[in-house]
């Protein structure tokens, strides 16, 4: 097997693998991009939830059973899909 290594741990070409390595790297890169997109969407939901809850006054928060000190915790759980 002939392999070129750009730097330790990074294989850039496998001459005998005929694209299998590229396909594997492509799949891993696609998975990484998908994880990044999910994380960015989670962060967007978190910030939006914090913004909306912080805009409520203490009475409104009390009506829905949330104390101001727990807004960030609740927003993080909601953004992650946890209840």
pLDDT computed for residue 1 by the predictor = 47
Per-residue tokens: 7: 């730097």
Tens digits of residue pLDDT in 24-80: 888 889 999 999 999 999 999 999 999 999 999 999 999 999 999 999 999 999 999
13 strand-pairing partners: 4
| Range of weakest confidence among 13-17, 18-22, 38-42 | 13-17
Write down the pTM of the prediction.
0.68
Q: Report the alpha-carbon distance of residue 23 to residue 57 in Å, rounded.
A: 53
Q: How many domains does the chain have?
A: 1
Expressed as residue numbers, the domain containing 31 is 3-79
Per-residue tokens: 35: 């994880």
Per-residue tokens: 75: 């927003």
């Amino acid at each position: 097997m002939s392999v070129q290594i750009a730097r330790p741990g990074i294989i850039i070409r496998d001459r005998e693998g005929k694209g299998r390595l590229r396909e594997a790297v492509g799949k891993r890169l696609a998975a990484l991009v998908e994880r990044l997109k999910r994380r960015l969407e989670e962060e967007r939901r978190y910030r939006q939830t914090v913004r909306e809850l912080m805009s409520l006054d203490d009475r409104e928060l009390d009506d829905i059973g949330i104390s101001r000190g727990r807004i960030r915790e609740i927003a993080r759980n909601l953004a992650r899909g946890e209840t």
